Amino acid sequence: MPEAEKKPLSLSLRPLNLEEFVGQRHILGEGRFLRRLIKAKRVSSLILWGPPGCGKTSLGWIVAGEYQAEFKYLNAVFSSTKEIKEILEEARSKNKRTILFIDEIHRFNKLQQEVLVPDTEQGTIVFIGATIYNPYYYLIPSLISRSCVVEFKPLSKEEIILILKRALKEKKGSLADKYVEVTPSALEYIALNSSGDARKALTALEVSALTTPEDREGKIQIDIEVAKESIQKNLFYDKKGQYHYDTISAFIKSVRGSDPDSSLYWLAKMIKSGEDPRFIARRLVILASEDIGNANPFALVLATDCYKATEFIGMPESSLILAQTTLYLATSPKSNASYKAIEKALEDVEKEESQEVPSHLKTHSRKYKYPHDWGGYIKQDYGAKKKYYFPQDVGEERRIRKFLQLLRSPTS
pLDDT, tens digit (0-9, with 9 covering 90-100), for 93-128: 877 788 899 999 988 888 889 999 988 888 888 899
Contacts of 212 (CB under 8 A, 6+ apart): 220, 221, 222, 226
pLDDT band with cut points at 50, 70 and 90 for residue 152: very high
172-196 average pLDDT score:
85
Average pLDDT value for residue range 149-175:
89
Instruction: Classify the phi-psi angles of 151: left when phi > 0, otherwise alpha if psi is within -120 to 50, otherwise beta.
Output: beta
The rounded distance, in Å, linking the Cα atoms of 125 and 86 is: 13
CA nearest 407: which of 383, 385, 384, 375? 375
Residue type present at position 311: E
CA 199, 201, 204, 210 torsion: positive or negative?
Answer: negative
Q: Is the pTM of this model over 0.85?
A: no
Indicate the fold that domain 157-230 takes in CATH. Answer: Helicase, Ruva Protein; domain 3 (1.10.8)
Identify the weakest region by mean pLDDT among 252-256, 258-262, 292-296, 359-363: 359-363
Q: What average pLDDT score do residues 239-243 get?
A: 57
- The two domains 157-230 and 242-330 share their CATH topology (first three levels equal): no
Mean pLDDT of 399-410: 83
Contact partners, residue 294, CB within 8 Å, separation at least 6: 335, 337, 338, 391, 395, 396, 397, 400
What is the topology classification, in CATH, of domain 23-151?
Rossmann fold (3.40.50)
Task: Print burial letters for 183-210: b (CB count within 10 Å at least 16), e (below 16).
Answer: eeebbbbbbebbbbbbbbbbbbbbbbbe
User: Does 4 score more than 50 pLDDT?
Assistant: no
If you average pLDDT over residues 22-35, what whole number do you get?
A: 91
Of all residues in the chain, the percent with pLDDT exceeding 70 is 95
Report the chain's mean pLDDT, rounded to a whole number: 86
Pick the CATH number of 242-330 from 1.10.3210.10, 1.20.272.10, 3.30.450.90, 3.30.470.20: 1.20.272.10
Listed by start position, the domains of the chain span 23-151, 157-230, 242-330, 337-390
Q: What is the per-residue pLDDT for 128?
A: 93
**Among candidates 382, 375, 384, which has minimal Cα distance to 361?**
382
pLDDT at 230 over 90: no
131 within 8 A of 30, measured Cβ to Cβ: no
Q: Does the pLDDT value for residue 245 go beyond 60?
A: yes
Q: How confident is the model at residue 376 (pLDDT cuts 50, 70, 90)?
A: confident
Q: What is the pLDDT of residue 240?
A: 53
CB 216 within 8 A of CB 251: no
Confidence of residue 351 (pLDDT cuts 50, 70, 90): confident
Runs of H (alpha helix) within 70-132:
81-93, 110-122
Q: How much is the pLDDT for 226? A: 87
φ, ψ (nearest 5 deg) of residue 40: -85, 0
257, 359 contact by CB (below 8 A): no
Q: For residues 236 and 154, what is the distance between their CA atoms, to the nearest angstrom?
A: 9
pLDDT of residue 237: 54
